[in-house]
C-alpha cells in the first residue's frame, strides 16, 4: 500500500510538472523572439555619432570654402581700393523746360519741351602723410555741349552760358565718365599750402571762400562767376598763406593752353589771380586781382559782349570784391547774405571795360532741419557801351527728404541777355539729388 501511494504521488507530481515545463519552453521562445526584434530595431536605429561626424565633415568643407572666398575678397579690397582714400559723390536728376525767345543770337534752339538730364559725380580724396591731399573728381552727364550743331543744341537748354541757363547740376560729357578735376596739395610749414595739378581752377587755390550762397544756376557761384572769378579747368599751381587771425593771402595761375603751348608762355591764355581775405565765423570780406592774358574769355555771368571782348593779345585787369554774412541762429526770418562786384579794364579796344554785381540770400532750416530757401539776382558782366540792361535771377526751395536725398523745385530767368534787347528767358526745373 505504501508503494502504491508512492507511485500515485509520483504520477500526480509528474502531471503537475509537465505544464510548468511546457510554459517554461514557451517563455524561452518568447525571449528568443524579443531578442530578434531588438536586434532588428538595433540594425535600423539612427546612429547619432556617425551623423555628427558626417555633419562635421560637411561643415569643415563649407568653412574652408568661406575662408577661401573671404581671402579673395580681402585681396580684392586691398588691391582695388586704398584705405587712405575717402570717396563720396552724388547723382542729380533734373527735369524742366525753358520759355525762350524765338529769335536772337543762339536763342532759337532753346526748346520749350521738357527735358530730363542727369549729372553723376564722384569725389576721391587721398592722404599719404595725414596733412596732404590728392583730389580727383570723376564726372558724367547726358547734357550736350552748346557749341555743337543747332539740332543737338535743342537738347542743351540747361547747358547754355550766353543766356545764363547753365545749371550747377548740368554736365556736357555725353554720358562719358571723365576725370573732371585733379590736383595735389601739401603744407609747407605751419602757415603755407602749395597746390598744383593738371586739372584745376583758380578758386580752388584761394584761401578765402568768396560766397556762401548755394546756387541753382552756375552763373551765381563764387558771388558772380564773371571776370574776376571766371573759371576754366586748366593746368595750374598756387601758394596760400593762412594766419591764425582769419587773414589769408593766396596767389595762383592757370593756363588754358598749357597742354599744347606750355605753361606761362607768351602765347598761352593765362589767368594769374591774387586774393586777400579775412574770415570770421559769421562774416568774411575779400578782394581779388585777376590778370588775364592772350584772349582769355570770361565765364558764365556775362553777356555775349561782356564775355567775348577782343583783347588783341592784350591783358585785362579784373578786380573783384566779395563779402558774406550769416546769422548766429538758423530757422529765423533773417537770411545769410552774399554780395559781389566785379570791374574789368583792357586797353585793347574802345569801350571794352565791364562791370557786374550780385546779391544772394539763403534761409536755412526754415520749416524743418536742413531745408534751404534761396534767392539771387544781379547784373551779368556787360560792356560799358552796351545799351541794354541785362538782369538775372533765381529762386528755389530745397526740401531735405532725409540725410541722402533732397528735392529742389526752382524757377529762374533773365532779361536782355546775350546783349540783345528783349531777349528775355524764363525756366523751371525740379532737381532730385542723391548723395552717397
Residue 21 pLDDT grade (very low, low, confident, very high; cuts 50, 70, 90) = very low
CA 145 to chain centre: 21
pLDDT of residue 247: 98
- Count of C-beta atoms within a 10 Å radius of residue 408: 21
The 3-state DSSP class for residue 72 equals helix
Query: Under a CB-based contact definition with an 8 Å cutoff, are residues 425 and 414 in contact?
Result: yes
Extract the C-alpha cell encoding 176. 562719358
- Grid look-up 520749416 returns 367
Q: Is the pTM of this model over 0.85?
A: no
pLDDT of residue 4: 40
Beta bridge partners of 318: 290, 344
pLDDT of residue 125: 95
Express each pLDDT in 188-222 by its tens digit.
Answer: 999 999 999 999 999 999 999 999 999 999 999 99
Examine the pLDDT at 64 and tell me if it is beyond 80. no
Residue 129's Cβ-side half-sphere holds a number of Cα atoms within 13 Å equal to 9
Examine the pLDDT at 328 and tell me if it is beyond 50. yes
Examine the pLDDT at 2 and tell me if it is beyond 50. no
Query: Under a CB-based contact definition with an 8 Å cutoff, are residues 341 and 323 in contact?
Result: no
Extract the C-alpha cell encoding 179. 576725370
Residue 22 pLDDT grade (very low, low, confident, very high; cuts 50, 70, 90) = very low
Residue 14 pLDDT grade (very low, low, confident, very high; cuts 50, 70, 90) = very low
Extract the C-alpha cell encoding 34. 524579443
Which residues, 6+ apart, have CB-to-CB distance to 35 below 8 Å? none
pLDDT of residue 398: 97
Extract the C-alpha cell encoding 108. 532759337
CA 44 to chain centre: 67
Residue 18 pLDDT grade (very low, low, confident, very high; cuts 50, 70, 90) = very low
Looking at residues 421-435, what average pLDDT do you find? 90
Examine the pLDDT at 352 and tell me if it is beyond 80. no
Looking at residues 121-128, what average pLDDT do you find? 95
Total number of residues shown for the chain: 436
CA atoms of 434 and 412, how far apart (whole Å): 23
Examine the pLDDT at 356 and tell me if it is beyond 80. yes
CA atoms of 415 and 132, how far apart (whole Å): 45
* Structure letter (DSSP) for residue 308: S
Looking at residues 117-125, what average pLDDT do you find? 95
CB burial of residue 110 (10 Å; 0-12, 13-18, 19+)? buried
CA 310 to chain centre: 37
pLDDT of residue 294: 77
Extract the C-alpha cell encoding 141. 552727364
CA atoms of 411 and 407, how far apart (whole Å): 14
pLDDT of residue 149: 53
DSSP 49-67: HHHHHHHHHHHHHHHHHHH
Which residues, 6+ apart, have CB-to-CB distance to 139 below 8 Å? 119, 120, 121, 122, 171, 173, 177, 178, 180
CA atoms of 59 and 79, how far apart (whole Å): 30
Examine the pLDDT at 417 and tell me if it is beyond 70. yes
CB burial of residue 406 (10 Å; 0-12, 13-18, 19+)? buried
- Count of C-beta atoms within a 10 Å radius of residue 122: 17
Mean per-residue pLDDT of the chain: 81
Examine the pLDDT at 312 and tell me if it is beyond 90. no
Express each pLDDT in 246-264 by its tens digit.
Answer: 999 999 999 887 666 678 7
CA atoms of 51 and 381, how far apart (whole Å): 85
Express each pLDDT in 268-290 by its tens digit.
Answer: 788 999 999 999 999 999 999 99
- Residue 276: name the closest of 268, 287, 264 by CA: 287
The dihedrals phi and psi of 269, each to the nearest 5 degrees, come to -75, 115
DSSP 3-state helix, strand, coil percentages of the chain (rounded to 5)?
25, 40, 35
Residue 315 pLDDT grade (very low, low, confident, very high; cuts 50, 70, 90) = confident
Amino acid at each position: 500500500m505504501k508503494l502504491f501511494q508512492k507511485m500515485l504521488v509520483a504520477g500526480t507530481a509528474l502531471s503537475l510538472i509537465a505544464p510548468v515545463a511546457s510554459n517554461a519552453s514557451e517563455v524561452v521562445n518568447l525571449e528568443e523572439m524579443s531578442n530578434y526584434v531588438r536586434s532588428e530595431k538595433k540594425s535600423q536605429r539612427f546612429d547619432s555619432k556617425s551623423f555628427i561626424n558626417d555633419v562635421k565633415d560637411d561643415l569643415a568643407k563649407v568653412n574652408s570654402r568661406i575662408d577661401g572666398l573671404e581671402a579673395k575678397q580681402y585681396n580684392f579690397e586691398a588691391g582695388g581700393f586704398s584705405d587712405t582714400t575717402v570717396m563720396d559723390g552724388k547723382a542729380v536728376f533734373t527735369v524742366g523746360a525753358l520759355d525762350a525767345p524765338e529769335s536772337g543770337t543762339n536763342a532759337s534752339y532753346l526748346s520749350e519741351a521738357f527735358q530730363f538730364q542727369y549729372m553723376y559725380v564722384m569725389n576721391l580724396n587721398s592722404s599719404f602723410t595725414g596733412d596732404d591731399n590728392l583730389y580727383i573728381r570723376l564726372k558724367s552727364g547726358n547734357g550736350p555741349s552748346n557749341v555743337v550743331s543747332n539740332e543737338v543744341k535743342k537738347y542743351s537748354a540747361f547747358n547754355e552760358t550766353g543766356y545764363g541757363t547753365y545749371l550747377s547740376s548740368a554736365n556736357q560729357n555725353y554720358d562719358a565718365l571723365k576725370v573732371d578735376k585733379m590736383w595735389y596739395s601739401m603744407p609747407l610749414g605751419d602757415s603755407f599750402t602749395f597746390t598744383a595739378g593738371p586739372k584745376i581752377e583758380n578758386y580752388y587755390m584761394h584761401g578765402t571762400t568768396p560766397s556762401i550762397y548755394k546756387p541753382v544756376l552756375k552763373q551765381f557761384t563764387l558771388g558772380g562767376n564773371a571776370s574776376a572769378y571766371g573759371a576754366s579747368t586748366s593746368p595750374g599751381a598756387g601758394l596760400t598763406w593762412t594766419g591764425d587771425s582769419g587773414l589769408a593771402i593766396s596767389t595762383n595761375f592757370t593756363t588754358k593752353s598749357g597742354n599744347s603751348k606750355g605753361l606761362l608762355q607768351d602765347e598761352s591764355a593765362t589767368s594769374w589771380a591774387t586774393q586777400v581775405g579775412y574770415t570770421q565765423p559769421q562774416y568774411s570780406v575779400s578782394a581779388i586781382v585777376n590778370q588775364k592774358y592772350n584772349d582769355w574769355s570770361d565765364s558764365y555771368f556775362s553777356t555775349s559782349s561782356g564775355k567775348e571782348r577782343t583783347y588783341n593779345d592784350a591783358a585785362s585787369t579784373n578786380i573783384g570784391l566779395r563779402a558774406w554774412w550769416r546769422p548766429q541762429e538758423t530757422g529765423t526770418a533773417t537770411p545769410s547774405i552774399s554780395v559781389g562786384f566785379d570791374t574789368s579794364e583792357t586797353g585793347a579796344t574802345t569801350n571794352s571795360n565791364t562791370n557786374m554785381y550780385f546779391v544772394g540770400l539763403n534761409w536755412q532750416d526754415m520749416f524743418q532741419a536742413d531745408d534751404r530757401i534761396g534767392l539771387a539776382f544781379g547784373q551779368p558782366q556787360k560792356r560799358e557801351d552796351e545799351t541794354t540792361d541785362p538782369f538775372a535771377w533765381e529762386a528755389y526751395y530745397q526740401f531735405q527728404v532725409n540725410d541722402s536725398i533732397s528735392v529742389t523745385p526752382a524757377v529762374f530767368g533773365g532779361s536782355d541777355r546775350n546783349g540783345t534787347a528783349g531777349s528775355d528767358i524764363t525756366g523751371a526745373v525740379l532737381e532730385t539729388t542723391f548723395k552717397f
